[in-house]
Amino acid sequence: MNQEPPFDYHYSAKTQSEVRRIREKYLPNRETTLETLRRLDAGAEKKGTVWSVAAGVVGTLTLGGGMSLAMVGRNLAWGIALGAVGIFILSCAYPLYQRITKRERERIAPEILRLTDMLMEKS
């Protein structure tokens, strides 16, 4: 007699979700229009934020160095001058952020407008 093994099927939702999650890692990136729009919008501020934080750190360190020199007492004039430079650098951080962010927004504006028009037409 020809005996075939019985058909045995085990379904596990947990296993299937894990398989899908692993499979998604290896599929080509299929970014939706809305995801692209969000990524571009977030990226417009990123460059300005990096430069303004860098200016803030440099300004803070410069101001701190000036305060240290002034507190020692031997180099009061140099300490005040260095502190003033640090305050100037700190005061430039936010305008630097605004200028860079504005320039980045102007640069990506055509793409943002094109994507928003596409999304509005679908609605």
pLDDT 10s digits, 24-53: 888 777 778 888 888 898 898 999 999 999
Residue 92 lies inside a defined structural domain of this protein: yes
Residue 97 lies inside a defined structural domain of this protein: yes
Span 101-111, pLDDT tens digits = 999 999 999 99
The per-residue pLDDT for 109 is 92
Q: How many Å apart are CA 24 and CA 116, to the nearest integer?
A: 27
The tokens 């080509």 sit on which residue? Answer: 28
Residue 90 lies inside a defined structural domain of this protein: yes
Token code pair at residue 51: 């430069």
Are the C-beta atoms of 79 and 69 separated by less than 8 Å? yes
Token code pair at residue 96: 């630097």
Token code pair at residue 80: 């005040």
Residue 44 lies inside a defined structural domain of this protein: yes
Residue 64 lies inside a defined structural domain of this protein: yes
pTM, full prediction: 0.68
Q: How far apart are the first and last CA of the chain?
A: 64
The per-residue pLDDT for 16 is 83
Residue 23 lies inside a defined structural domain of this protein: no
The per-residue pLDDT for 6 is 73
Residues 6+ positions from 92 with CB-CB distance below 8 Å: 55, 59
- What is the band of 9 on the pLDDT scale with cuts at 50, 70, 90? low
Q: Is 73 left (phi over 0), alpha (psi -120 to 50) or beta?
A: left
Are the C-beta atoms of 99 and 55 separated by less than 8 Å? no
Residue 8 lies inside a defined structural domain of this protein: no
- Structural domains of the chain, count: 1
**Domain encompassing residue 50:** 32-122
Residue 18 lies inside a defined structural domain of this protein: no
